[in-house]
Amino acid sequence: MNFKQYLATAKPSGAAIPAGLQDLLTAVVSTCSTLSHEVAQGALIGLLGSAGTGNVQGEVQQKLDIIANDLLIDGVKGCKSLAGLASEEMELPVPVQGTGDYLLLFDPLDGSSNIDVNVSIGTIFSILKKQDPQAPLQTADFLLSGRHQVAAGYVVYGPQTTMALTLGDGVVMFTLNKVTGEFLLIKDAVTIAHSTKEFAINMSNMRHWADPVRRYVEECLAGVGGTREKDFNMRWIASMVADVHRVLSRGGVFMYPWDQREPHKPGKLRLMYEANPMSFLVEQAGGASTNGKDIIMDLQPTDLHERVSVMLGSKEEIDRLRHYHS
């Protein structure tokens, strides 16, 4: 089954996918197919390296960051149901139709520091239902908790170009057939095992972590020699899409927690277009996602680009982390 057939036949929670949402998802996924081709060309078409500019986050933008952002804006501008969009790469939201049922948020190319070393990167997207479709677009329209998402997903540009998607009724995965340009269904009920032996975190930050995170990781490292009933393995790709794809594919825990390097910031990752869409996918696959104390999708945002501490994945481990934070 290809993506178009899936959209036409799927009935998440018993109802057909609204035509406006089908149109928007088709535009996003089609753009990601184009982006997959651009990413794969890399140096061949002069797309590696820095663009020499910075984004609203104060980060150096890679050439592909800007290309991905522009491709996504151009790809969805014709969607009649899309009131507006917001991107990691832009300070303010962009009106599309101004009115309409949906709001699109995205990190156009997450992990872009990995572009120049040929490591998997990806696009993360979240779709919110606009509370008052007929009212003119305002930034405040986007400030909804993750519970208001009607769809979320990512496309990882790796050895395969694979998409994970949830419409609120489980998680499905598609892989791009680069000959036909079609995304074909590969998994229709993605689940995360409640237990795992694998965790992902940037260990070089260990001395900066809060005590509950340090305790959890030290116990994982000690394994059966300590308080845990098993030994653990560690992974860190430094590309959230790739790390979360591994968690969705074989279980595990992904952590980018608050640390004291920038104590005034709650974390590194962004709530609206990184943590919330990934948390929606993880919860829909039977996992859990927390900032340590709260469930991430329950958080009420106050700023479009606010950051959050993120710990997500296999439920038993996330429950343990929440207990250590209580």
Footprint on this chain of ligand P6P (rule: CB under 6 A): 110-111, 113, 202, 238-240, 243, 256
Q: Give the nearest distance from C-beta 198 to ligand P6P in angstroms.
A: 15
Answer yes or no: are the C-beta atoms of 22 and 151 closer than 8 Å.
no
- The residue (of 256 and 280) whose beta carbon lies closer to ligand P6P is 256
Q: Give the residue ranges of the annotated binding site for substrate.
A: 110-113, 202, 268
Q: Distance between CA atoms of 92 and 258, rounded to whole angstroms?
A: 25
d(CA 145, CA 112): 26
Closer by beta carbon to ligand P6P, 240 or else 318? 240
Q: Closest separation between CB of residue 310 and ligand P6P, Å? A: 9
Report the binding-site residues for Mg(2+).
88, 107, 109-110, 274
E-strand ranges in 178-277 read: 182-187, 198-200, 233-235, 253-256, 269-270
Q: How far is the CB of 274 from ligand P6P (least distance, A)?
A: 7
Strands (E), the chain: 50-54, 60-62, 82-87, 94-95, 102-110, 121-129, 149-157, 161-166, 171-177, 182-187, 198-200, 233-235, 253-256, 269-270, 288-290, 307-308, 310-313
Report the distance separating Cα 72 and Cα 222, nearest Å. 45
Nearer to ligand P6P, 118 or 138 (CB): 118
Residue 101 or 110: the one with the smaller Cβ distance to ligand P6P is 110
Nearest CA among 281, 285, 302 for reference residue 310:
281
Q: Which residue has the closest beta carbon to ligand P6P?
A: 240
> What is the smallest separation between the CB atom of 253 and ligand P6P, expressed in angstroms?
13
CB of 243 to ligand P6P, least distance (A): 6
Residue nearer to ligand P6P on the CB measure, 236 or 324: 236
Of 99, 93, 96, nearest in space to 135 by CA: 99
